[in-house]
Amino acid sequence: MSSRASLNKVLLIGNLTRDPELRYTPSGAAVCTFGIATNRYYVASDGQKKEETEFIKIVSWNKLAELCSQLLAKGRKVYVEGRLQTRSWETPDGQNRQTTEVVIDDMRILDSKRDFEGSDEEYSGGPAADEADFSQAEGNGAPEKGAKNSKTKPAKKESAPKKKEEEDEKVDLDDLPF
C-alpha cells in the first residue's frame, strides 16, 4: 500500500434519536439530517458493567435523502454506511463553530414494520420499507452539479405468506418510492 493511500469509512448500527429533517439546497438537491444513538457495553476496571451512548449526526443527499425522510422515524433501528466530514462556519455573532457528521451513501432499515408498530412511534413507510437496503450509486453521498438522483434498490427479502388482500392488490411501479 502506498503512503498516499487513506480510508474514510464509517459503519454504524443504531436507533434514530429524532425524526429526519428534509430540506433542499438552492440548487434543488435534497438533504436529509437525523441523529442516531449507538450503545457500547463494557466491564470497568472495578468490575461494574457500564453502558456508554454516542450520539451521531447523519447526513444524506439526493434520492437517499428523500427515502430517509419518507421511511425513517424516531426509534427505528438502522445500519448506515458513509464517511466522516467536518465542517466549520462562523455564526452571525462572529463565533466559530465546527461539527463532525457522517455523510452516508448506504442505509438499511434493520427493524421490521411489525416490530416498529409495537412501539409508541408512528410509522407509514409501507411494506417495501421493511428490512430494505437503500444505497447511493454515486458513492460519495454529496451532490454533484448537474448530477441526477442515484438509483436505489431494496435488499433481497425472504417472501412471507401473503394475506388475501395483498394478493388481490395490484402495485403500480410508478407509485413505489424508489
Low-confidence ranges of the chain (pLDDT < 70): 1-2, 113-178
**Phi and psi at residue 171, to the nearest 5°:** -105, 125
pLDDT at 159: 43
From the number of C-beta atoms within 10 Å of its C-beta (0-12, 13-18, 19+), residue 60 rates as buried
Cα separation, 23 vs 121, in Å, equals: 22
Q: Quick one: how many helices (H) and strands (E) in the chain?
A: 3, 7
Out of 3.40.50.880, 2.40.160.20, 1.25.40.80, 2.40.50.140, the CATH code matching 10-172 is: 2.40.50.140
Angle at 176 between CA 173 and CA 178, to 5 degrees: 110
Q: What pTM was estimated for this model as a whole?
A: 0.63
pLDDT at 123: 38
pLDDT at 158: 43
Bridge partners of 55, per DSSP, are 37
Bridge partners of 22, per DSSP, are 32
pLDDT at 155: 42
Cα separation, 143 vs 27, in Å, equals: 10
The residue extents of the domains of the chain are 10-172
Cα separation, 28 vs 83, in Å, equals: 23
